[in-house]
Structure 1
């Protein structure tokens, strides 16, 4: 089973935050980053699980996936804390949804 959680955050700087997260974590872990005119996406491969981040001109959608709920919380904490730190001027807060179990 896999645990999954997700959240969407409104921000006019969403795309910039994805780029900032990608640059920050790209030195430490494997990161896949794709940009187009309408959106940018990134996948962060942490040892505990993965975080998928998608941004358009007005919002960020974050999803975290891991094998256990404990590992899911680690991924949520890592990506959420970094995003909040990078977005401190907006006082952005990451609040994750309840996790769902997937086969």
Structure 2
């Protein structure tokens, strides 16, 4: 996890998804942990294997070393962070059929 005093971030950005066992079995090589209600998947693994580490919109980026973390490379705006998170969610879903949910709470600008 990057040090927030060196590289601005809010820590882990996405929840650990829980999917039905059938969904997990359809994902080759996907690590999973059985839990009540399904199988827990690694959101970081999904983001990493969708090749999204380093993806950047403006100054908001997926951290190069820890795929769950969205970082601020200087002057990231809320719309940039939201657009980046939306892009990650769309691309992970397109790659694996799994929908990620943000762990953080952001205020939508009107």
Q: TM-score, normalised by structure 1?
A: 0.48
Bigger radius of gyration among the two: 2
Which protein, 1 or 2, shows the higher relative CO under an 8 Å CA cutoff with sep ≥ 6?
A: 1
Instruction: Determine which structure has the larger strand proportion and give its number.
Output: 1
